[in-house]
Each structure stands twice: as C-alpha cells, then as structure tokens.
Chains A and B, each alone.
Chain A
C-alpha cells in the first residue's frame, strides 16, 4: 500500500476533474471536502488490487444527482431542514456496513470526477480505510448503470441512500440497474437534487474481476502534468497539449463560449456549449452536448468525438471546467482522451455507447 500525501490527493482530484468531462462534481467542492483531511494529515493509503483479500468486503460510495452551480441558493423547502455536517455518502457507507453486518476492507471510487472521487477519498480517510487503485468507470459517467460492475453482471443492490438531511433509505432489491437508477434518482429529486449513495457491496474476489485497474494512479498522472504545467504559468492550451501528448490524447479545439443553454431535468443537467474558434481554430465553431458529462462534440457541424471517448475541458489558466459553470466569452481548451478499453467492447458500447443517448452515430475512436 502506498501512503498518499496531500499533494498526491490534489493531483488525483485535478486529474479526476479532467476525466470528469464536465461532470463528476465540482473540483472546488472536492478540494474543500479533502481540505481538512489534508490539513490534519490524516492517513490515506492507496491499495493495489493484489492487496485486496478475496474474502474481504468492499463497497462504492458516491454522490448522485445534479450538481448545483457553485453559488446556487438553497430552496426554502430544504433550508428549514437539519443538515449533515459531513458528506451524505459517508453516512450511506456507514449505513451499508450496519445493514449488511460486515466491515469493509477498503473503499472503491464509483467514477473519476472532481467531487465524486473526493467523496470516496474522504470516506476512506474518515473511516481509516484504504482507497482502491481502481475504478468501475475510469472516467465520469452520467448514470448508475454506466459501470464495469454492470458490464460484468455484479449486483448493484443492496444500496444505501442518504440525504443531506441525515435521512437513510435502503434499496434492498431492484429488477435491474436501470430501475435502481430510476429509484435513486427520484429520491435525489425529492431531496434537493443530491443524495449520497453506497452500492455494489461485494467480495474482493468479485471486485477484482469487475474493475479498471490502476485508475487512481492514472488520474494522478494527469493531475501531475496539469499542476506542473499550470504551476509554471503555462497557458490553458499548453496544459491541454501536454496532457494530450503524455496520455495518448488529442487537442480538439480552442475557442470562446458564445452560448451555453442548459436546464435541470429529471435529476440531470442537460445542455450544450457553443464555442467560436480562436488562434489556430479562428473562423471555426465547436459544439459539445452534455448530460451531466460531455457526450458528443461537433466541429463545424460534423461529429468529432463521441462517448465512451472523453471530451475534456480546461480554461485559459489550464484549470478543469465543470458543467454548468460556463460564462459567455470564457476560453475553453477542448481535448480528447481515449476510453478505457472495457467501454469499447461490444458489451461496453451497448451500455455506454452513442446509441444509449439516442445518437444515430457509430462509435469511432478519435484519431
């Protein structure tokens, strides 16, 4: 097991925010969640898959809902309720241990995202458990069934759902992951659009065959490049170039936001980002459509990149941008990173390919 320093944690979260492709929660919220753990120098260990015993239990805590804009005010309906002073995902994790009557050996992240991975790291820190160096998505994804657990037929239930108001709901069993998604999402909608969830409790043996290995290390590598470059006052474009070069990616576009209409619907943020090109891209347009995460992009009206490949965004300072924190005139550097391999298999594409989002487009890896 490797002990993670405060710097390591920051690198991981910055990398996750890049892999969030707009979703995965606000990086600022993720950093804030870990601030105290870092200041207090709480121990956090990264465990390799080989260090997880086959007969030990593991589970996956995360936040589910529609992330709010950073300055959003809370509705009066909710502000009158008592509030937890720690993340609801932590409450859901403890409730799961209590419900199944087993102590967990380690915590697994549910996706790589600026806030969602922080929830897993924070839960691990608070409980003194290691975080696994692996992930069931290898990026951020919009829906519960977009996971390698689903592709590998691992049961999502029982699930524990906790609200920010300290309420706990146990979803004992569902017909399938889609129904689990519908039910949990509906509870989120009734709870200020955000709940903490712990799901997929399973044995180490099952976990190992269902997961993308070395995922946290991968995020850390990306964060390292980002922080190194931006720390040396590189432009957003230079940071994007460096990450693309070192991680088999490709720079897609550089431009300013002309409009970014979006709406919150059914517990998701839906919208698009329209860009006008600058420098090398002057005279061109770019459009990214998102459902929490970036799903497909168009360059001058032609399909450019589509899921499961990653459409990542950095601002002019090289900082990751999360949906829906857009402003007209803001510079965005767009680049692609390759999808984890499992998503490009037939089963992977059936779950998280263009067709799932109703797009009449074949998945073609970006060149």
Chain B
C-alpha cells in the first residue's frame, strides 16, 4: 500500500487526460476534485493487485449522464428537491455495500480519464479506502461495455444507482451490459441528467483476472514526463516527443487545426479534426475521427492509427486537449500509444470493433 502525494494524484490526472484520447471528461474539473480533497486534509492510498485479498470485494464507482454546463440554473422540477452535499457515486458505493452486506476493500476505476479517474480517486479518498492500481479500460472509452470486465464476462450487477437528491436504486440483474446502460441512463435522464453508479462488485480473485494491472502507475508516469518536460521549458511538441519515446509510442503529427466540425448526437460528441502540418510535417495533412474518444486517424489520406491504439493530443503549451474544445489555428501535437494488450486479443477486438464505429478498416498496430 502506498500513500499518494497530492503531486502523485495530479500527475495521474494529467496522465489520464493524455490517455483520454479526447474523452474521459474535463481536466480542469478533475484537478479541482483532487485539490479539494487534499486541501481538506484528505489522503489517498493505492493498493497493488498483489495486496488485494482473493476473498475481499471491490466495486467501481463513477458518474453517468451528460455533464452540465457550468453556471446552469437547476430546473424548477429539481430545485424543490433536497440536494446531496457530496458526490452521488459515493452514496451509490455505500448503498451497494449495504445491499450486498459486505464492506468493500478498495475502489476500482472504470476508465483512465481526467475526470472519471479523478472521481474514483476522490471517492476512494472520501471513503478512506485504497484505489486499486489497475483499471478496467487502460484508456478512455465511449460506452459502458468497453471494459475488460465485459471482455472477461464479469457481471455488471448488482449495480447501485444514486441520484443527486439522495435517492438510491439497486439494479439487481439485467440481461446484459447494454440493458444496464439503457436502464441507468434512463434513471439519469429522469434525475437532472446525472446519477452516481457503483457496479461490477466482485471478489479480489475475479477482479485480478479481469483488469489491466498497474494502470495508475502507467498514467502517473505519463503525467510525470509531461510535468518535467514542461517545467524545464519544453514545448508541447517536446512533451509529446518525450512521452512517445519513453512510453513505447510514436509522434503521429505536429500541425495546426484547419477545421473541426462536430455534433452532439444520442448523448455523444461525433466529429473530425483536420490538421495542416508544420515543421517536420510541413505540407502534410492529418485527420482524426472521434466519438467522444479518438477512433481513427489518417495521414495524407492513408490510415495511420486505429483504435484500440491510443490517439493522444497535446497543445502548444504541453496540455492535453479535450474534445470538442478545438479552435481553428490552434497547434496540436498528436502522438500514438500502444493499446493495452487485452484490447488487441481476438475477444478484445470483437468488443472494440472499428466496424461498430462505421469504419470498414481492420485494426493494425501503428508503425513506429
């Protein structure tokens, strides 16, 4: 068990923003959560998989819904209701413990993303439980079913849902993860578009066989590289270069945004980012397609990087960029990182299928 310093936690959140590949929530919100926890005297411990007893239980808390615009007023329908003064996923986690009549040993994170992982860290800190040094995606992913739990057939239920009004609901069983998503999302829609969830409760034994180990360490290392290069005066391009060379990746492109058309549809952001190359990439063109997360990229019209490999984006200042916060003329440094191994197995690729995203392209590991 290791105690994470505030710097460790911040590095993790920055690293998660990089492997968020455009998704995983807002970096600023994630950092605020960590700073709030530590400024109030909180602390976070991290447990390695080897420290998780086989017969102990873990569960995965997170927020589900459409993030609200900052400063938006609460609808009258909801303003009359009492409001929780702590995050709903925390209530969901407690309520799942009560329902199962078990005390959970640790908190697991559902994906590596600036906001989603910060939330898991915050919940772990608030509950006084360790966060597992592991993850169910090893990157950010657009849907509930893109998880190694799904690939390894670990049931998502029982699943606890909590509203921001302090209401608790237990989803005892569902046909599959898609139905879990449909039911949880419908409750979110009826609850001011946001609910806290705790799901995939499982024994340590099951958990160990279903997750990507050392995922927090991985994110922390990326965050550390980013911080060190930036602090020594490196450019965004330098940051991208260092991460790529130290983390088994490659620089994919360096350019400025020409256009970035996108739309919100069915609860997702869909769009494209078009880049014009500069410096070493002068005269080249680059296009990235995203569905919340970056899915596929083309270099001068040829397929360059395909999911589940990671297409990461860093701006001129060395800060990870989040979809759809793009401005024409803004510099973007694109780097590719290797997918966690589980996604490139046959069962992993069946789940993370480019065809599902509408691209008739087979997955090919990017060429370094």
Interface positions of A (Cβ within 8 A of B):
81-82, 95, 165-175, 179, 182-183, 185-187, 189-191
Contacts and interface: CB of A to CB of B under 8 A. Distances in A.
Interface in B155-204: 165-175, 179, 182-183, 185-187, 189-191
A190 B185 CA distance: 9
Given A81-B175, A168-B172, A174-B167, 13 more contacts: A167-B174, A167-B175, A169-B183, A170-B99, A171-B169, A172-B168, A179-B81, A183-B167, A183-B169, A183-B191, A185-B190, A186-B186, A187-B187
B166 A175 contact: yes
A95 B183 CA distance: 18
Contacts of B174: 167
Nearest to A188: B186
Contacts of A168: 171-173
Nearest to B162: A172
Contacts of A186: 186-187, 189-190
B95 A190 contact: no
B71 interface: no
Given A173-B167, A186-B189, A190-B185, A81 B172 contact: no
Given A167-B179, A167-B183, A190-B183, A95 B172 contact: yes
B334 to A, nearest CB: 37
B82 interface: yes
A182 B192 CA distance: 11
Interface in B38-89: 81-82
A168 B186 CA distance: 15
9 contacts: A82-B175, A167-B172, A167-B179, A168-B172, A169-B170, A169-B183, A173-B168, A183-B191, A186-B186
By Cβ-Cβ distance, the 6 closest A-B pairs, closest first, are A190-B186, A186-B190, A168-B172, A170-B170, A186-B186, A182-B190
Contact of B186 (A174, A179, A189): A189
Interface of B: 81-82, 95, 99, 165-175, 179, 182-183, 185-187, 189-191
B182 to A, nearest CB: 4
Contacts of B183: 167, 169, 187, 190-191
B173 A167 contact: yes
Nearest to A179: B167
A291 to B, nearest CB: 18
A172 B175 contact: no
A175 B192 CA distance: 14
Contacts of A183: 167, 169, 187, 190-191
Contact of A179 (B165, B185, B189): B165
Contacts of A187: 183, 186-187
Contacts of A174: 167
Contact of B170 (A172, A175, A190, A191): A172
- The interface centre, meaning the residue of A95, A165, A166, A170 with most chain B CB atoms within 10 A of its CB, is A170
A217 B189 CA distance: 41
Contacts of A171: 167, 169
A12 B4 CA distance: 67
A191 B182 CA distance: 8
B172 A169 contact: yes
Given A172-B95, A183-B191, A189-B186, A81 B179 contact: yes
A170 B169 contact: yes
Contacts of B179: 81, 165, 167
B167, B173, B174, B179 — most chain A CB neighbours (10 Å): B167
B275 to A, nearest CB: 38
B184 to A, nearest CB: 9
A171 B173 CA distance: 13
Nearest to A191: B183
B231 to A, nearest CB: 48
B88 to A, nearest CB: 14
Given A179-B81, A187-B183, A169 B171 contact: yes
Nearest to A174: B167
Nearest to A180: B167
Contacts of A191: 182-183
B78 to A, nearest CB: 10
A137 B190 CA distance: 25
A173 to B, nearest CB: 6
Nearest to B184: A190
B190 A170 contact: no
A192 to B, nearest CB: 11
Residue with the greatest number of chain B CB neighbours at <10 A, chosen from A169, A174, A189, A191? A169
Contacts of B175: 81-82, 165-167
B188 to A, nearest CB: 9
A322 to B, nearest CB: 26
A252 to B, nearest CB: 35
Nearest to B179: A167
B169 A169 contact: yes
Contacts of A189: 186
A82 B166 CA distance: 33
Contacts of B191: 182-183
Contact of B169 (A165, A172, A185): A172
